[in-house]
Structure 1
Amino acid sequence: MLSVPIDTESAVPMYEQIYSYIKNEIKDDRLSKGSKLPSARSLAAHLTISRNTVDMAYSQLVSEGYIESVPKSGFYVAAVSALTSIPTLPVIKKEVKKQIKQSCQFDFSPFAIDINSFPYNTWRKLSKDCMSEYNNELFLLGDSRGDESLRNAIAVYLYSSRGVICSADQIIVGAGTDYLLLLLSRLFNRKKLDSLSDSSGTSLSDTRQTENVIAMENPTYKRAYEIFIGMQYDVIPIELDQNGICVDNLFSTDADVVYVTPSHQYPLGIVMPVKRRQELLAWAALKKERYIIEDDHDSEFRYKGKPIPALKSMDSFEKVIYLGTFSRAIAPAIRVGYMVLPEELLLLYKKYLGMFSSTVSRVDQYIITHFLSDGYFERHLNKIRTLYKNKHDLLLQTLKIFQDKIIIEGENAGLHLVVYFKTSLSESELLALAGDNSIKLYGLNRHYITPNKSSYPGILLGYANLSENEITAGITSLYDTIKYHLN
């Protein structure tokens, strides 16, 4: 058992003392890679402190990558011992700069956007308007859920673009999807506690004894997975078929919440058809406590056919929690996300989480409100859709150099393609070989909760932040690099 020295008189919070102690033990190799840590409950009992304190320390260590959480097994030390032998700072700077210059000549990141398309002039104008004298109230605290004017603008946008019918009252604005998922995790805990209290008089301290289970697509948006694991959820991976998440497999679990990306599955790009959506809604409708989290992460970008309506637009049972963000369509630094809560969860949110202040500056809220309501956003989307479609089509055309040596999936939407290379190389070997030739690729394996069973290495080829010349040159260079390794 870890004997963590805790100074109860210190101004440093106890969870931070535990976090610092374990981190230093790992960095100094006193806790070796793969070592199992005591459970949060047993360590809390050993130190005679609240389990919440240990949970917070472990969550921070997981977030920073010092430890890993293995479902139904516990917490284990990650491979970070190399940190103890990092060279001096001047050498690091030179080495890192050299590596970046060599490895990022062609960076096919699926997370990047074309930052050159950012509407600087419009943003500057709206920022200037915001600073006018009559907007002094923006420097006061506003509604904790986000300014009503912004929530109204989002409601109008969702109805016109995604077919989602909701009121401004149902919308919660927060600094990105990650923050909103953390709020949801707390909300589900409170709802479960309320349900238990109604029947058995369970107290707040007993909520940690209840099992939190959530199902997720496999592969999935790994950051969401890490958040749920960090909040002590038991995550159940559900395999995908050509129509998305396998609902039959979902029925065989004891999950009450499922996280999906139905309009453009991340990362595979599958579009969930209407029949599968109806099956998913039917699963949720069978029990009062069941909910679907719909992450509509890049629904703005579809290059063939009509836009796919949101799952929320079919939600007659009030079972879908809708998540959206402006980070992909405007810029990553615009940390403004939003969620639409069903009425029942909204009441619980107001009751238990209403004390949380909005994490988005009211100045930013003002700018985005007018960016939406004054028509700037629609014009911006039309512009970048055309830009991204041209890059998307060029990438597909350039990939023809590989002939039948690749399999392409997830085209016609989003900001990346999934490409499987018919080669005897493993994914890690392919990434390393490309990296040695100044091409940065992003593997598919990192998005799987359980091991990827594909016989070919899969790569997420992003194109948003590359020029057309870079796309052509980068794919040509990739072909020249691996052509002798193709089957």
Structure 2
Amino acid sequence: MSQDISIEVVQAMNDMGPIFEFVVDRSDRESVYRQIYERIRLAILSGSLAVGAKLPSSRALAGQLNIARGTVDTAYRLLSGEGYVVCRGAGGTIVSPLATVANASSNRADAGKTEWTDAFDGAASSPLPFQMGLPAVDVFPRALWSRLCARRARRIHAASMVYPDIAGLPALRYAISAYLGISRGIACSPGQVIITGGYQAALHLIAEMMMRPGDKIWFEDPGYHKARQLLEGMGASIVPVPVDNDGMRVEDAIKIAPNARFALVTPAHQSPLSVSLSFARRGALLAWAARQRAWIIEDDYDSEFRYVGQPLPALKSADREDRVIYTGTFSKVLFPSLRLGYLVAPDELVGPFLRSISLNDAGRSPLEQAVVADFLTEGHFARHLHRMRSLYASRRAALARALEIVFEDRISVDLQMGGLHIIIRFGPSFDDVAAAEACAHKGLSVVALSSLSLTRASDRGLLIAFANVPETSALSASRRLENALSDLPPIGIERAAPQEAN
């Protein structure tokens, strides 16, 4: 920002609040409202503007600076949304008590001369190119989210400070129940919805409450490695089941382990191949569970992002015998650090799940839950998903084109109908594990497909996420990938024949 811009807060007060001495640099590339926002924010953080100090009215400051009043209003709204000021209508705009938290944190960091950076002070670690498991954090509506957080924080009262509902905030459970009914075809009551600390927490709850050591569980191969590691750590016996273009090969699973107690599936977009479980296999899976009195754990982690046709209904929507435990997460549709997920429990399992939570967890913070509930019920969630589908479709296509331009005929690009990553495949001698390690040394985050498989080491490729690769960066990111792989043996294309589906 230009050094020609200055702001001085004079502590003498008049009927308009503190007197600001501003010089607006109109040649600065930063917009005027951002200049106003930054100067007031820095004055608050430095202590020049004390808590409770009254700011000039937007009309007065606009007149002083000879700018449109709407410009000042925009700056004030941004400051309010991030908790720095409180707009009290006719009572004016004052510095918020919440600003002291940020100020104190800043002072403590300066006093301690810490080497690390607080993530709230500007993201200590930005997403690496191609990093899996992340939505597009660069375009998340942070200002809107900040306003919702600040609004909820101002409403905190004594009753909200006691131990939370172990099943989750009722308002959020109701909102999730309504959303699942409309978008995923799941008929469930709010009483069946249990809020968890993300998908891993939901899976841990299920395993801890229901699984006995040695219980067999059908597991997609390749599959989500962290889920497999968690289940193995809880004593489950993993039964690898091959996956083809129609998803998990249910007939193979029945032949291998007909008496398994559980099946863990990702029907909408199989993790990591992104194929969908066919309707015929869905029926066969549900019939097996009903016949064996087994349980199906449905991981519906990113079903909202489908780029051809409409999102497929959830497996749970066809569950007439109540054998499916449905799990969802806000990590992919909002952001991972939120650490909020949920499960929909069959009626007979609601009580046992809640008893387990009461002994081991005691529930989640209601503040974040309330903000998510507002985000859903006020229509922000639906608008956000609509925007993200369009954005991801564009970024997906741009990255695929860029990879084909850079690598030409040395790779094949596997584009499925949904998901947040693509798979690129090389020649039969290609070592994808070594390639992933080489990329890591160059600051790129890709995943070797073979590392996610228990039995199919010959199925090789690199998983590349596109959510955080803007269209304008796709070509440069692809060239960085080529450079990272340049020291490996020559690579050539592998065009594997489609696998026959059952």
C-alpha deviations, 1:169-223, integer Å up to 9, x for none? Answer: 111101111111111012214xxxxxxxxxxxxxxxxxx6x63221110111111
The CA deviation at 1:251 is: 1.2
2:467 to 457, 460, 464: 464
Task: Tell me the amino acid that sits aligned with residue 337 of structure 2.
Answer: A
**Cα deviation code 1:393-421 (max 9, x no counterpart):** 10122232234432333433111001111
Specify whether residues 434 and 123 from structure 1 end up closer, same or farther in structure 2 by C-alpha distance, changes over 3 A only.
closer
Displacement after TM superposition at 1:134 (Å): 6.1
- CA offsets, 1:464-483, max 9 Å, x none? 12222322112134346658
Instruction: State how far apart, in whole Å, the 1-side matches of 2:361 and 2:440 are.
Output: 44
1:406 corresponds to 2:403: no
Change (3 A) 1:163 1:380: same
- 1:449 aligned to 2:454? yes
TM-score (norm 1): 0.70
Alignment correspondent of 1:188:
210
Aligned counterpart, 1:83: none
- Counterpart position of 2:389: 385
Question: Which residue, 262, 276, 280 being the options, matches 2:267?
Answer: 262
CA 469–318 in structure 1, closer or farther in 2 if over 3 Å, else same: same
Post-superposition Cα deviations, 1:312-356, rounded to whole Å, max 9, x if no partner, equal 111111111100000111111010000001112224334555445
Give 2:348's aligned residue: 344
Amino acid at match of 1:188: M
List runs of 5+ in structure 1 lacking aligned partners.
1-92, 94-103, 190-207
Aligned 8 A contact 2:131 2:444 in 1: no
Q: Distance in 1 between matches of 2:171 and 2:484?
A: 53
Alpha-carbon displacement from aligned partner over 1:18-68 (angstroms, at most 9, x marks no partner) = xxxxxxxxxxxxxxxxxxxxxxxxxxxxxxxxxxxxxxxxxxxxxxxxxxx
Say yes or no: does 1:229 pair with 2:232: yes
Aligned length: 364
- Contact 1:144–1:356 (8 Å) recurs in 2: no
Question: For residues 355 and 432 of structure 2, what CA distance do their matches in structure 1 show?
Answer: 48
The answer to whether the Cα contact below 8 Å between 2:450 and 2:461 also exists between their aligned partners in 1 is: yes
| Residue correspondence of structure 1 range 156-305 to structure 2 within 5 A | 156-189=178-211, 211-252=214-255, 253=257, 254-288=259-293, 290-305=294-309
- The whole-number CA distance in structure 2 between the counterparts of 1:105 and 1:138 is 34
Quote how far apart the aligned CAs of 1:155 are.
0.3
Write the letter of the residue equivalent to 2:241. I
| 2:329 aligns with one of 321, 325, 332 | 325
- The 1:365–1:407 alpha-carbon spacing in structure 2 relative to 1, beyond 3 Å, is same
Give the aligned partner of residue 52 of structure 2: none
- Asked if structure 2 preserves the Cα contact closer than 8 Å seen for 1:410 and 1:418, the reply is yes
Q: Which amino acid aligns with 1:446?
A: S
Is the 2:218–2:262 contact (alpha carbons within 8 Å) kept by the matching residues of 1? yes
C-alpha displacement at 1:422, in angstroms?
2.2
Question: Hey, what does 2:133 align to over in structure 1?
Answer: 111
Q: Which residue of 2 aligns with 1:313?
A: 317
Compared CA separation, residues 133 and 418, structure 1 to 2 (3 A): closer
Return closer, same or farther for 1:323/1:432 CA change in 2, 3 Å cut-off. Answer: closer
- Does the CA contact (< 8 Å) of 1:259 and 1:293 recur in 2? yes
The 2-side partners of 1:481 and 1:125 are apart by 42
Cα pair 1:322 1:339 within 8 Å, conserved: yes
Partners of 2:444 and 2:357 lie apart in 1 by: 46
Would you say the 8 A contact 1:416–1:461 is kept in 2? yes
In structure 2, the CA distance between the partners of 1:482 and 1:232, relative to structure 1 (3 Å rule), is closer
Who is 1:71 aligned against? none
**Bigger shift: 178-187 or 348-357?**
348-357
User: Superposition RMSD on alpha carbons, in Å?
Assistant: 2.4
Identity of aligned residues (%): 32
Query: Deviation at 1:371?
Result: 0.8
Higher relative contact order (CA 8 A, sep 6+): 1
CA 1:242/1:170 → structure 2, altered by over 3 Å: closer, same or farther? same
Partner residue, 2:174: 152
Shift in alpha-carbon separation, 1:105–1:305, aligned structure 2, 3 A: closer
Within 1, Cα distance between the matches of 2:155 and 2:266?
A: 43
Kept after mapping to 2: 8 A contact 1:215/1:257:
yes
